């Protein structure tokens, strides 16, 4: 089969298309014929070696058809989505014609939607839905800030929150990206040059919830912009991986504000079963036009190195997908 492997840790030029053996199944796994997959910033860190030793074949999500299911839960030829479960990290991932994934990280979907549309959904929409509904417990009418709104995860979060009936405030550092956020349904767009709370003043002040995709560089500021009883969820690292220096919760965390973290690597665990995410409903809402999830750009298999280059230059402006 074809696979994109890493010659060594480094830049996008380290990725190459090669022929490798089809992976073998283990108990409790599903073999998938990969028809398309999304690209993620996590795969840049893996390729560069910043997350230590990882699988030779990257890719943390895919959509495709079942070849075989060791658990006999799914039928051959069934349309499925798969994400995480060690894909691209501890086991070979989705940058290939076939991949073998733990059954706990595979979900069946009934749809006639094209592969490239489906490939834009698993990682971003499953993560966004979980952050909003589980960690932030967002309700209709509440005020939500999405920090890093133009990222693929940020766009999915805006989409879901608007459909839920929340008042969404998106942040961006680039004024030229404001129209994109407005089209997604953001009620306000702010560019916090200093404290987020100051930027929020014209929109009504402190908020009920913040989804922070920038990471450690902004999380303390996000806490200060949240009302007592409100919630902040850290779910990204667009601002870099550097840890918080001299963080003191006693002096830097406002009393009564709840802070949590969500990482999609939890999907498939007992606390975060993938079956708990209503992916079929999400697909249906997108098909009906009630959600806006679409790929920003579609690439061919051989164009993955170029797509990585664009992602490293922060030129994605949404979800990149690869059609196999």
Across residues 136-159, what is the average pLDDT?
A: 97
Measured over all CA atoms, what is the biggest interatomic distance in the chain, rounded to whole angstroms?
58
Q: Binning pLDDT at 50, 70 and 90, where does residue 249 land?
A: confident
Q: What is the percent of the chain where pLDDT is above 90?
A: 86
Q: What is the percent of the chain where pLDDT is above 70?
A: 100
Distance from C-alpha of 200 to C-alpha of 206, rounded to nearest angstrom = 7
Q: Binning pLDDT at 50, 70 and 90, where does residue 284 land?
A: very high
Across residues 198-217, what is the average pLDDT?
A: 92
Higher pLDDT, 251 or 84: 84
The per-residue pLDDT for 167 is 97
**Contact status, residue 162 vs residue 143, Cβ threshold 8 Å:** no
Give residue-wise pLDDT tens across range 97-113.
999 999 999 999 999 99
Q: Binning pLDDT at 50, 70 and 90, where does residue 205 land?
A: confident
Across residues 52-73, what is the average pLDDT?
A: 97
In the predicted structure, residue 194 carries a pLDDT above the cut 80: no
The per-residue pLDDT for 253 is 86
Distance from C-alpha of 285 to C-alpha of 175, rounded to nearest angstrom = 30
Please, which residues have CB within 8 angstroms of residue 54's CB and are 6 or more apart in sequence? 46, 88, 89, 90
Report all structural domains of the chain as residue ranges with CATH numbers, in order of start.
2-120+294-323 (3.90.180.10), 124-264 (3.40.50.720)
* SS3 assignment for the chain: CEEEEECCCCCHHHEEEEECCCCCCCCCEEEEEEEEEECCHHHHHHHHCCCCCCCCECCCEEEEEEEEECCCCCCCCCEEEEECCCECCCECCCCECEEEEEHHHEEECCCCCCHHHHCCCHHHHHHHHHHHHHHCCCCCCCEEEEECCCCHHHHHHHHHHHHHCCEEEEECCCHHHHHHHHHHCCCEEECCCCCHHHHHHHHCCCEEEEEECCCCCCHHHHHHCEEEEEEEEECCCCCCCCCCCCCCHHHHCCCCCEEEECCHHHCCCCCCCHHHCCHHHHHHHHHCCCCCCCCCEEEEHHHHHHHHHHHHCCCCCCCEEEEC
The per-residue pLDDT for 50 is 92
Distance from C-alpha of 196 to C-alpha of 277, rounded to nearest angstrom = 31
The per-residue pLDDT for 95 is 98
The per-residue pLDDT for 155 is 97
**Contact status, residue 26 vs residue 70, Cβ threshold 8 Å:** yes
In the predicted structure, residue 266 carries a pLDDT above the cut 90: yes
Distance from C-alpha of 31 to C-alpha of 22, rounded to nearest angstrom = 10
Higher pLDDT, 238 or 103: 103
Q: Is 248 exposed, middle or buried (0-12, 13-18, 19+ CB in 10 A)?
A: exposed
Give residue-wise pLDDT tens across range 6-37.
999 999 999 999 999 999 999 999 999 999 99
The per-residue pLDDT for 264 is 96
Mean pLDDT score of the chain, rounded to an integer?
Answer: 95
Please, which residues have CB within 8 angstroms of residue 93's CB and are 6 or more apart in sequence? 55, 57, 58, 59, 60, 62, 87, 99
């Amino acid at each position: 089969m074809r696979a994109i492997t890493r010659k060594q840790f480094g830049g996008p030029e380290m990725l190459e298309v090669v022929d490798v053996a089809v992976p073998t199944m283990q108990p409790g796994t599903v073999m998938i014929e990969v028809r398309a997959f999304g690209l993620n910033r996590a795969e840049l860190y893996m390729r560069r070696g910043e997350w230590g030793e990882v699988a030779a074949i990257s890719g943390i999500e895919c959509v495709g058809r079942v070849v075989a299911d060791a658990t006999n839960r799914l039928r051959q030829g069934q349309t499925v989505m798969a994400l995480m479960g060690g894909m691209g990290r501890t086991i070979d991932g989705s940058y290939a014609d076939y991949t073998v994934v733990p059954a706990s990280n595979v979900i069946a979907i009934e749809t006639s939607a094209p592969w490239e549309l489906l490939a834009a959904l698993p990682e971003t929409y499953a993560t966004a839905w979980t952050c909003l509904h589980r960690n932030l417990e967002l309700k209709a009418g509440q005020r939500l800030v999405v920090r890093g709104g133009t990222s693929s995860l940020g766009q999915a979060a805006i989409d879901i929150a608007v459909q839920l009936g929340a008042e969404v405030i998106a942040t961006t550092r680039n004024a030229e990206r404001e129209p994109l956020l407005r089209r997604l349904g953001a009620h306000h767009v702010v560019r916090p040059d200093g404290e987020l709370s100051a930027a929020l003043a014209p929109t009504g002040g402190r908020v009920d919830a913040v989804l922070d995709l920038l990471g450690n560089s902004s999380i303390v500021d996000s806490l200060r912009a949240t009302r007592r009883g409100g919630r902040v969820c850290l779910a990204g690292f667009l601002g870099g991986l550097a840890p918080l220096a001299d963080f003191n919760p006693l002096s830097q965390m406002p009393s009564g504000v709840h802070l949590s973290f969500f990482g999609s690597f939890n999907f498939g665990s007992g606390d975060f079963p993938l079956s708990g995410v209503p992916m079929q409903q999400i697909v249906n809402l997108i098909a009906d036009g009630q959600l806006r999830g679409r790929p920003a750009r579609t690439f061919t298999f051989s164009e993955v190195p170029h797509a990585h280059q664009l992602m490293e230059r922060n030129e994605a402006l949404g979800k990149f997908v690869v059609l196999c």
